[in-house]
Amino acid sequence: MGTEKKANFGSMEATFGMQATIGGQSDFMFVTINRFRSPGKYRPVYKSECKTPSAGVFEWTTLTIDTDTLANADDHMEILFQIWLHKTNGNHKKVS
């Protein structure tokens, strides 16, 4: 069964280049981007690849995502970026 979408769904995009310097970290890390749902509640809409730092800097692949997925096409909607320390057992640790 299909779902209806507005005529211009996905027509606007946002592009992010993501990098971070986190002292003392050499393990794999990844980034999540989360869409605002209600005060204090977010839903993940993107999870990056796991990366290790190069010369002390974590740099993830540039991301282009449509604004409907990211923020329901609302230019003023909050989004939340989080950086996670990857753990092989699945118990990832939030760094920021």
pLDDT in tens, 54-77: 999 999 999 999 888 888 878 889
Compare 73 and 88 and report the one with higher pLDDT. Answer: 88
Q: Give the separation between CA 5 and CA 88, rounded to whole angstroms.
A: 38
pLDDT (mean) for 14-21: 92
Asked whether 64 and 14 are in contact (CB, 8 A), the reply is yes
pLDDT (mean) for 50-54: 95
How would you classify the pairing of strands 41-47 and 57-66?
unpaired
Structure tokens at 64: 């282009």
What does the radius of gyration of the chain's CA atoms come to, in whole angstroms? Answer: 15
Longest pairwise C-alpha distance within the chain:
49
How many residues are there in the chain? Answer: 96
Q: Give the separation between CA 7 and CA 41, rounded to whole angstroms.
A: 28
